[in-house]
Amino acid sequence: MTPTLYLSRACLKRDASAAALVPLLLGGAGRGGTTRHPGHHLVWSLFADDPNRRRDFLWREMDAGVFLILSMRQPEDQHGLFEIAAPKPFAPALEPGDRLAFSLRANPVVRRRVPLARRSVKHDVVMDALRSRAPGLRAAQRLATVRNQGIAWLGRQADRSGFTIHAGDVRVDGYDQRRIARKGSAPAMSYSTLDFEGVLTVADPATLLPAIARGFGAAKAYGCGLLLIRRVRSANRAQVGVRSISCAESMVRA
């Protein structure tokens, strides 16, 4: 049974008392191209009621300082940094065959066995595919590889998550490689993102809703994996823009 979920929109305050802190909170470039103060620290502050808590939320930064959050608990702004719209229960009434516009920022990875070791390592699906190409061809094949590997990865997610996709109804872009600075001398956290937008078809609602709650792909702590959905209002709107999906529109209405 899927636990109660809440969808919230949290915006960093821009009033005079918080204005001086906003540039520090949002951060910027660090050493070696890393990013300082990633958003996961800000979002975590809304759920940090217990030092032993494990992450039970997904989030996505829609604009600078504007976050959409799907969580098992309602966020609590103990530091007065945010303006939070009233959280809304996320409990869409779905049926097999429903068509939903969706938007997803994900860190798609594949696991590869390490030779002579009893473990596997996660690899970015795009770079994993490009490694098999001749070095002189990689730049020319990069865009096609982003789309082909992105669609293949999303198709695998769909197969086990209760929905289907048609490649012609999905746009894949926004391939970005990111490095997040860590404390002290610890090496930077590196991951890649892809943005998916389009239309999916519900196959099994009982499987899809728990999958949305879990999130898709890796790097969920860093703002990846939240699948935003809404009903398709007309057959002509097969593609949706990320910025067109507001907090209210991100919930499927019964």
> Which run of H or E residues covers position 199?
strand 189-202
pLDDT the model gives residue 241: 40
What are 134-166's pLDDT values in tens digits? 888 888 888 899 999 999 999 999 999 999 999
Fold agreement between 6-89 and 99-244: yes
Q: Which residues contact 115 (CB under 8 A, 6 or more apart)?
A: none
Class of residue 161 by CB neighbours under 10 A (exposed 0-12, middle 13-18, buried 19+): buried
* Residue 243 contacts residue 249 (beta carbons within 8 Å): no
CATH superfamily, with its number, for domain 99-244: Crispr-associated protein; domain 2 (3.30.70.1210)
Q: Which CATH number fits domain 6-89: 3.40.50, 1.20.120, 1.20.1740, 3.30.70?
A: 3.30.70
Write out pLDDT tens, residues 18-71: 555 555 555 554 545 445 555 778 898 899 877 778 889 999 999 988 999 999
Q: Are 198 and 102 in contact (CB under 8 A)?
A: yes
Joined tokens for residue 214? 């879990």
pLDDT of residue 251: 43
State the Cα–Cα distance between residues 13 and 89, nearest whole angstrom. 24
Number of C-beta neighbours around residue 177 at 10 A: 12
Domain ranges of the chain: 6-89, 99-244
- Give the global pTM: 0.83
Question: What are the pLDDT digits (tens) for 183-242?
Answer: 666 777 789 999 999 999 999 999 999 999 999 999 999 999 999 999 987 654 444 443
